[in-house]
Structure 1
Amino acid sequence: MTSPHDDTAEQPDEDLEAVGSIPVGTPVDPLAELRTQRSEPDVYVAVLVVESTSDAAEHQPLYEESFVLLKAADEEEAREKARSFGKELETSYEDEHHRPITWKLKDVVDVRPVEDATFDDGTELYSRFFRDYQAYSSVRGELDDDA
């Protein structure tokens, strides 16, 4: 048993005071590594409209609306990729009557994140709201007439 006057009883505390603090590194932020790791890009859906044109007098413009899936870090990158993809769709050729046909990107209508990228049955890729059903129906009617 040690007595209050025994020097060995207080030695450990004195040793720590003599040494002072020991640097063990910088403070650790457990989320820092997660922030610096490259995460998987998000999935976006872009709505593109391309238009066919021709110098032929009887040519009627034809439009194609397409929904394109893109992977991007953010919406700005997704929009840039959508425009680039739309530009890649541009082409010119001669139809069966040797008339020149040109397809050009008309518009990137919309770019939105895909909320649920599981791609199971029923996964919603794109939706939009509108108030004028008659105008919507007229476009749909035109599409049915072309079929």
Structure 2
Amino acid sequence: MVSFTLNGAPTTVDVEEDMPLLWLLRDELKMTGTKFGCGVASCGACTVHVDGVPTRSCQIAVGDLEGAAVTSIEGVDSKAAAAIQEAWVELQVPQCGYCQSGQIMSATALLAETPKPTDEDIDFAMEGNVCRCATYARIRKAIHRASEIMEA
């Protein structure tokens, strides 16, 4: 049994402790917003927040979550998240959309830490979040736009 907080709710699960968090979310809890991309932490599609830090859920075992706070795309709820979501829609960031939950989770964490990021801050924070449609310019523009929305 492993107990942690998931999207603000106390959660206890009885699964193999070496199960990746990604499989717990998708297969056991039926929370399919977090995507499987590569399984080796190279694409960022499975990004969630663990104790506020963007984390590849394919590479963290459920057993390592005891007492942690996990936020998935289904539960991200903050001023930064709302601004990111508004900017994403306004600037029509997604093309195929597959990577977007991971992109949003990384961008939200960036704005929570750095409300007025530079291009370099954005590039560093978003490094490792792969977009097969190459919407990187729109993602960067949307993060800057979300920063403006947060200031308003």
TM-score (norm 2): 0.21
Query: Which structure ranks higher in relative contact order (CA pairs < 8 Å, sequence separation ≥ 6)?
Result: 2
Compare the two structures and name the one with the higher helix fraction.
Answer: 2
Compare the two structures and name the one with the higher strand fraction.
Answer: 1
Larger radius of gyration: 1
